[in-house]
Amino acid sequence: MSSEASPEERGYHHGDLRRSLVAAALQLVEEQGLEAVSVREVARRVGVSPGAPFRHFENRTALLTAVAEEAQDRLLQAVEDSRRQQASNDPLEVFHAIGDGFLRWAFANPAHFLVVSTRSVIDYDSPGLRERNDGLRATMRQWMEQAAAQGRLKPGDIDRYVLGLRGLVYGLARMHIDGQFASWGRPPQHALEDSLAVLDQFMLAIQASPGSPASSPP
């Protein structure tokens, strides 16, 4: 089966315009950035009339939300891969691998990261996005709890550590796509490297120094 042609020589259009639209939008984001994604341009790329997409998406936001769900899946996949590659079972090292994967993906796919992290353009309340987010959050909390149970953390609220590290990697990634590394002394090419080092240092900072009281001694 050719991936282009379809039933009936494509009478009107092939079977799955919806999927084609999302794919085209995803590619357009990647090639030209978020601003370049107009419903009309996506329709043009797929070869349908300007009104056709509205048979599948209520509005531009709904289309971009579908794009964001796809991008979010890729992000989660990258995080998952990074976690898997971390051979150790040390909860803090696993947690670190998650942050590491997040940063690397965000820096490697700035346009897609922009889509998943920009309200105003997507519907954050979509159940799809919500679920995906909740999953990652639960995973992070789990490993952090385990670290605490092993007495590895400085005293402090676990949720605050999780939220803080989430905010940290999110903030570094956003600073990058928002072009805010330029004024940060080091050249932007080192932004990923710097961000990884920052994550590292903060993961170290929250750990109990040997011999000091920990969050939850065994």
Partner DNA sequence: ACCTGAACACCGTTCAAGT
Which position among 118, 139, 146, 216 is part of the footprint of a second copy (CB under 8 A)?
118
Residue 60 binds DNA, judged by CB under 7 A: yes
The residue written with tokens 């900072």 in the block is 205
| Residue 69 neighbours by CB under 8 Å, 6+ apart | 126, 128, 129, 132
For residues 135 and 127, what is the distance between their CA atoms, to the nearest angstrom?
Answer: 12
Which position among 54, 126, 163, 188 is part of the footprint of a second copy (CB under 8 A)?
163
Our CA dihedral for 113, 118, 119, 121, rounded to 10 degrees, sits at -90
SS3 120: coil
Shortest separation between residue 160's beta carbon and DNA, angstroms: 39
Residue 119 binds DNA, judged by CB under 7 A: no
Choose the contact partner of 61 out of a second copy, DNA, none; CB within 5 to 8 A by kind. DNA
Residue 198 binds a second copy, judged by CB under 8 A: yes
Nearer to a second copy, 3 or 212 (CB): 212
| Residue 124 neighbours by CB under 8 Å, 6+ apart | 130
Find the helix packing angle between 158-177 and 191-205, rounded to 10°: 170
Residue 49 binds DNA, judged by CB under 7 A: yes
Query: What six digits make up the tokens of 162?
Result: 């999780």
Choose the contact partner of 39 out of a second copy, DNA, none; CB within 5 to 8 A by kind. DNA
- Which of the stretches 12-20, 71-79, 90-98, 197-205 binds a second copy when contact is defined by CB under 8 A? 197-205
Which position among 6, 30, 34, 48 is part of the footprint of DNA (CB under 7 A)?
48
Which position among 51, 151, 182, 190 is part of the footprint of a second copy (CB under 8 A)?
182
State the number of CA atoms in the 13 A half-sphere of 211 facing the CB. Answer: 0
Choose the contact partner of 119 out of DNA, a second copy, none; CB within 5 to 8 A by kind. a second copy
Query: What six digits make up the tokens of 19?
Result: 């999927």
Residue 127 binds a second copy, judged by CB under 8 A: no
